[in-house]
């Protein structure tokens, strides 16, 4: 369906990013735009003030009767599940329901590199953008990383590359979206409060390749059993990366990254020279190299591996992702607030040398958190539990040294008390932030402020 000034559109979910950006984008183009949200007007006041005044707001309701206005299309914000009655009824009436990502795609120019997976999406998305910009190619980074893709549309040109982080929620309602290069980093249990099992979750992720053809590229993790055994239907050219299998298109061995392609493997990156640490970031770098080379191939440009490797090494990483804040009394303090899954925490613990005290907890997402035990053994000397999950985690990890904290200041004080010089104190929650904070970013910022207060002497711990 063409979207023009005669189109009536219902945006479902105002939020403070995707829904807001989509509504303003459409109103600017003269569409008749309504937006609904289950929150009331007082809760949404700050966001409503940023809306185009032509947008009709339905706050505090997502009643199917809204559809009687006669909408041509519904744009679903990623945080809103398709199972709500309003969306179920829209589909019954034959109203197309699409994602904000899909909406943006219909107006975009240039190439698209799209990245999904349970863990590592944001770092890989940012790294791909960083490498492309270092190579002199204008890369626009957006999507689930925190910048709505729709807000970048007007910057796209025929020679730009949009590097897009995609969540499973965003992929649920893509229709025509087709990336030139797509990657799935890994698939581990996540959002099982929304999906009926990991298979359904994986199927949502795999929609990233739904419209790809054999002219496109699909990058995947050969070490992930779900991925390796579930991509037979992908039509794009498949490229693999691995920490363990030297037969992958790009692989890691003895501290170096190699690529296969000729008569013998060629070393392309000394992982020890990267500023971002840990095996998970080696995986992110391998994915990024394959993504960039795929885009360059589609653009008809030469691949310069030395320049790509140099860009991998100059990348400084992102806030809230294994971010080393500094030291206090001989303890390293790390902000890993973005670690909202068991897999992310497992990778974080593998990346720490020596013992640590782990600040853990928040709003759970249906995972089996007891899986953390294996990674904690011999590494975690104590737990500080925060958020809604405190009682549940106290039962799961009852035989581990643990304490409860009511605030982030309290959590850092108690973590310092459980630690010793040479240890690491790390916030790596394994949970969503929405019980105590509006986002993982806010959680990380509050943790950073606690660290700074303690370092200044304003938050004593002894």
Q: Which residues are catalytic?
A: 121, 144, 191
Helix axes 305-314, 279-299, angle to 10 degrees: 140
Rounded distance between C-alpha atoms, residue 430 and residue 443, angstroms: 13
Rounded distance between C-alpha atoms, residue 84 and residue 451, angstroms: 41
Q: Report which DSSP code applies to 59.
A: E
Rounded distance between C-alpha atoms, residue 20 and residue 102, angstroms: 15
Rounded distance between C-alpha atoms, residue 34 and residue 8, angstroms: 8
Grouping H, G, I as helix, E, B as strand and the rest as coil, residue 310 is: helix
Q: Which two tokens stand for residue 20?
A: 């807001």
Q: CA dihedral in degrees (294, 299, 300, 302; nearest 10)? A: -60
Q: Which residue has the tokens 């910048």?
A: 147
Q: If we measure between CA atoms, which residue out of 346, 334, 335, 350 comes closest to residue 370? A: 346
The sign of the torsion formed by the CA atoms of 447, 450, 452, 455 equals: negative
């Amino acid at each position: 369906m063409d979207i023009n000034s005669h189109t009536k559109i219902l945006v479902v979910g105002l939020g403070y990013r995707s829904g807001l950006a989509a509504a303003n984008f459409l109103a600017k183009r003269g569409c008749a735009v309504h937006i609904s949200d289950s929150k009331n007007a007082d809760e949404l006041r700050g966001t409503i003030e940023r809306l185009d005044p032509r947008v009709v707001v339905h706050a505090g309701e997502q009643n199917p009767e809204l559809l009687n206005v006669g909408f041509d299309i519904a744009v679903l914000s990623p945080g809103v599940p398709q199972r709500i009655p309003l969306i179920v009824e829209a589909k019954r009436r034959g109203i197309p329901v699409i994602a904000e990502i899909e909406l943006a795609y219909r107006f975009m120019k240039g190439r698209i590199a799209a990245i999904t997976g349970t863990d590592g999406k944001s770092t890989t998305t940012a790294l791909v953008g960083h490498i492309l910009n270092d190579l002199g190619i204008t890369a626009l980074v957006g999507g689930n990383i925190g910048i709505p893709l729709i807000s970048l549309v007007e910057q796209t040109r025929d020679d730009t590359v949009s590097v897009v982080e995609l969540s499973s929620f965003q992929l649920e309602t893509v229709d025509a979206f087709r990336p030139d290069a797509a990657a799935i980093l890994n698939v581990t249990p996540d959002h099982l409060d929304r999906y009926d099992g990991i298979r359904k979750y994986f199927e949502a992720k795999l929609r990233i390749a739904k419209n790809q053809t054999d002219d496109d590229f699909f990058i995947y993790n050969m070490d992930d059993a779900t991925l390796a055994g579930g991509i037979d239907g992908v039509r794009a050219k498949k490229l693999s990366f691995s920490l363990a299998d030297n037969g992958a298109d790009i692989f890691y061995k003895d501290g170096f990254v190699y690529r296969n392609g000729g008569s013998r493997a060629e070393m392309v990156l000394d992982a020890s020279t990267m500023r971002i640490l840990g095996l998970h970031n080696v995986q992110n770098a391998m994915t990024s190299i394959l993504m960039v080379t795929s885009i360059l191939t589609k653009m008809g440009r030469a691949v310069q591996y030395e320049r790509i490797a140099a860009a991998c090494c100059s990348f400084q990483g992102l806030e809230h992702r294994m971010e080393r804040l500094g030291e206090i009394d001989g303890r390293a303090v790390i902000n890993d607030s973005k670690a909202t899954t068991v897999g992310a925490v497992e990778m974080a613990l593998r990346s720490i040398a020596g013992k640590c005290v782990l600040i853990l907890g928040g709003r759970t997402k249906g995972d089996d958190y007891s899986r953390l035990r294996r990674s904690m053994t011999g590494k975690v000397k104590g737990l500080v539990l925060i958020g809604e999950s405190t009682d549940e985690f106290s039962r799961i990890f009852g035989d581990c040294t643990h304490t409860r904290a009511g605030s982030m200041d309290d959590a850092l004080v108690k973590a310092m008390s459980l630690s010793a010089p040479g240890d690491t104190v790390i916030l790596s929650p394994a949970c969503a932030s929405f019980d105590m904070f509006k986002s993982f970013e806010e959680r990380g910022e509050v943790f950073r402020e606690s660290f700074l207060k303690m370092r200044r002497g304003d938050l004593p711990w002894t």
